[in-house]
Amino acid sequence: MADFFSMGGYGAYVWPSYGLCAVIMLALLIFSLRSLKTTEHTFERLKSETAPKINSKNKETPDGDEA
């Protein structure tokens, strides 16, 4: 087992290579997935907010949506 981790003395170069690839590729994937989720949530929220407004113009709701 220790043999495996020492990588014939090159462990200090092999493991950081694989570790960095794993960290960066996972980070990019997770960031992309979360960004998609957030945007989809925003879209659904906006859709439900705008749909009734457009259909009935005289029903103005004075909710200050600054955000």
Partner 1 sequence: MHRFANPTRFLKIASAVQPWIAGITVLLFGVGLYMAFFTAPPDYQQGESVRIMYVHVPAAWMGMFCYAAMAVASAVALIWKHPLADVAAKATAPVGAAFTFLSLVTGALWGKPMWGTWWVWDARLTSMLILLFLYIGYMALQGAFDDRARGAKASAILALVGAVNLPIIKFSVDWWNTLHQPASVIKMGGPSIHPDMLWPLLIMAVAFKTYYVWVLLVRIRQELTANKVRILRLKQVHGG
47 binding partner 1? (CB under 8 A): yes
36 binding partner 1? (CB under 8 A): yes
CB of 55 to partner 1, least distance (A): 11
Query: Three-state secondary structure along 18-64?
Result: HHHHHHHHHHHHHHHHHHHHHHHHHHHHHHHHHHHHHHCCCCCCCCC
CA 8, 9, 12, 17 torsion-angle sign? negative
52 binding partner 1? (CB under 8 A): no
Residues that bind partner 1 (CB under 8 A): 4, 7-10, 13-14, 16-18, 20-21, 24-25, 28-29, 32-33, 35-36, 39-40, 42-43, 46-47, 49-50, 53-54, 65
